[in-house]
Structure 1
């Protein structure tokens, strides 16, 4: 692996570590919310004061799911670096523009192929 691929791999692994830390924190928040709702006898479904506990759980679960998907995408990006295919579109085999990779480091397709999907 050349120096450029090593630095790309290191950057992806840092992003992955940050994302994993975020997922762990979100998972803890979700567990705390479940525990709080179990020990509470509040009638949150009929509370006129705003969002329900169920809504908060759903929202937090969605963010956690998105974070876990990002982790999986970053794992695949690291595998592409190791295979020497990072930065090459999985569909058309053209180079993925650097600007796209900066904006979305786990991108596996070029903009044209992504917009067709």
Structure 2
């Protein structure tokens, strides 16, 4: 058996592993949706506060300006939206039986990597190569 065949047979996901990873992804999606909902409400509140004529945004001695708070929350919202898309894409790969296969080399990603990053699209070797 060559190295590629050995790696493929050692790293293929079992049904139990796939179910576990799918449950983790679904839980992560719920967590992200909750966080996005909370941030959306906070963005509305900051937007309303920024629009108030009595607010002196640039001279607030109590803490960060509303503009900087808006930027921070908007950035976190963008990161969560991207994470949500990655989780949704992973769930779609599960549904299409393409989950757990490296999109770069076509080899199995491996349970340990997917357990750490269930939305991963690259095996560890390809992920390391992409970082270089």
TM-score computed with the length of structure 2 as normaliser: 0.76
Q: How many residues align?
A: 116
Larger Rg, first or second structure (1 or 2): 2
Q: Which runs of 5+ in 1 are unaligned?
A: none
| Larger relative contact order (Cα-Cα within 8 Å, sequence gap ≥ 6) | 2
**CA RMSD, 1 decimal:** 1.9
2:32 counterpart (15, 19, 22): 19
Q: Which residue of 2 aligns with 1:99?
A: 112
Aligned mates of 1:116, 1:35 — CA distance in 2: 46
- Alpha-carbon distance change, 102 to 6 in structure 1, aligned in 2, over 3 angstroms: closer
**Could you tell me whether the CA contact under 8 Å between 1:8 and 1:81 is conserved in 2?**
no
Q: Which runs of 5+ in 2 are unaligned?
A: 1-14
> Greater shift after overlay, 5-14 or 66-75?
5-14
Q: Which residue of 2 aligns with 1:108?
A: 121
Deviation at 1:6, TM superposition (A): 3.3
